[in-house]
Structure 1
């Protein structure tokens, strides 16, 4: 029971236990991949509207950890940690992600751990970025959607467009 939607430049698809976002960037794949994996780049754009990322560390290898902190305009901090499962540069990244504490230890949360698969496909100097988020259950997908994760991810992906304009 998939639902497809197009919002601005982002195409979304919601399945039973997953959702997917696709966006084409006017930038070469190597640059988009680097912007998605280099902490100097990621810290400049990976956050929903109004949030910043004051902390971002990335150990880009299978088993490596991506640990970061979103900070709200009110100064509230939200920590997350992702563990890389697969990296095929510059084509694909697979990682699990969950909320954490400031030392990268997972914490209990209403947001369940999820599996993210990110692909980068180049065509005539442009790059199609696809982000698929898989949840453990239908109820977990509903809870994640109700918490606004898909909307936040859309805002974050839109930030990447602006970042790529600056670094090109």
Structure 2
């Protein structure tokens, strides 16, 4: 399920999915470096972690690369890590040294986004809900974020398909 909200002052992107795995298994796939690297990123993209410190106050610096494209770098800074129910991080594009940088695809993409992911038990399954909110965007950045929601949906659905395959014991597509 995807939900895009524009409140006038704030744009919110939400997406959720039920995974056929216990909450701790989904949590581990999201928070353990060796597991996260196997499924994260849109289809056809390889994710590599250069720094991985997922704890309150920690950060990840990573790169994603698709065949025939240069790497794109990102950074996640974690103010909240509440195992196994909630992850909160500030997400940004970065340079190869981990410094916050403009998105390679749009100079008007928000510099930072607050990401909140919750993991809710549903019997033997887990409801994962993700929310992205631009932090202190200009009006132009907010408009670019809203215009990019279909791309965000496609990207997250691709990642979630990879997570489904990973959790089922197969290889992500």
Scaled to the shorter chain, the TM-score interval is 0.7 to 0.9
Q: What's the TM-score once normalised by structure 1's chain length? A: 0.86
Q: 1:64 to 1:132 in 2, by over 3 A?
A: same
Q: Is the 8 A contact 2:65 2:72 kept in 1?
A: yes
Q: Is the 8 A contact 2:49 2:60 kept in 1?
A: no
Q: 1:162 to 1:145 in 2, by over 3 A?
A: farther
Q: Is the 8 A contact 1:82 1:97 kept in 2?
A: yes
CA shift, 1:97, in A, is 0.6
CA shift, 1:103, in A, is 1.7
Question: How many residue pairs align between the two structures?
Answer: 157
The more displaced of 38-47 and 148-157 is: 148-157
Written as runs of structure 1 = structure 2, the 5 A alignment for 1:106-121 is 106-109=100-103, 110=107, 111-112=109-110, 113-121=112-120
Q: 1:155 to 1:56 in 2, by over 3 A?
A: farther
- Can you give the 5+ residue segments of structure 2 that lack an aligned partner in the other structure? none
Deviating above 4 A after TM superposition, structure 1's stretches of 4 or more consecutive aligned residues are none
Alpha-carbon RMSD across the aligned residues, in angstroms, is: 1.7
- Can you give the 5+ residue segments of structure 1 that lack an aligned partner in the other structure? 1-10
- Match of 1:161? 164
Q: Is the 8 A contact 2:33 2:49 kept in 1?
A: no
Q: Is the 8 A contact 2:118 2:130 kept in 1?
A: yes
Q: Is the 8 A contact 1:37 1:58 kept in 2?
A: no
